[in-house]
Amino acid sequence: MNNIKKSILASIETKLKIASDNDFLLELERIGGRMVTALKMGLKILIAGNGGSAADAQHFAAELAGKFVHERKGLPVMALTTNSSITTAIGNDFGYEHVFSRQIDGFGNKGDIFVSISTSGNSANLVYAANSAKNIGLTTVGLLGKNGGHLKNYCDHSLIVPSNSTQRIQEAHILIIHELCAIIDDAFKNHK
């Protein structure tokens, strides 16, 4: 039971660090506002991650394409992790490091937003994708951890969770995703 309690307290401590960091909170608010503006302009949000972060990308997209809290219209948000035929074709033909960048090339348009979710910030396929997104003119956002890795250098906006623990970072990413969903949901609650 002590290990469970220790783990829960470590999770709370990470979230308290975020809650007490005004710069982090302002950046979170800026990103949410940027997403609202893009969506109101008819632009879209593309999201990617690997492993647990791929699941987070799908969770984020589902909350916005479907419903978070308020009844509203569905929003143009897509996780680039869901189509196994696309992912395996690109991985086979071009290499796994291109599974997201090729989709950005195909689906991304200037003004769209690309969100990369990575606990380390060092996933080659996300670095390639963020680079492609920047070249096309997408706004790039990173939900990162540890020191932000290489990916932070390709992001217009980064939220780096103050932890070196993968599970603590993933838990905080879900909190951040839900806060972004709340900002967006609130802005669209009267759009049915």
Binding residues for substrate, as ranges, are 50-52, 63, 92-93, 118-120, 123, 170
Gap between the Cα atoms of 42 and 35, Å rounded: 11
C-alpha distances (whole Å) from 62 to each of 47, 67, 93, 118 are 11, 8, 29, 19
**Where do the H-state alpha helices sit in 41-190?**
52-65, 84-94, 101-107, 124-136, 166-188
Containing 140, the helix (H) or strand (E) segment is: strand 139-144
Residues contributing to the annotated binding site: 50-52, 59, 63, 92-93, 118-120, 123, 170, 178
Report whether 107 contacts 132 (CB < 8 A): no
**Residue list for the binding site for Zn(2+):** 59, 63, 170, 178
Query: Dihedral of CA 100/101/105/109: which sign?
Result: positive
Kindly write down the DSSP assignment for every residue of 49-67, as one continuous string.
ESTHHHHHHHHHHHHHHS-
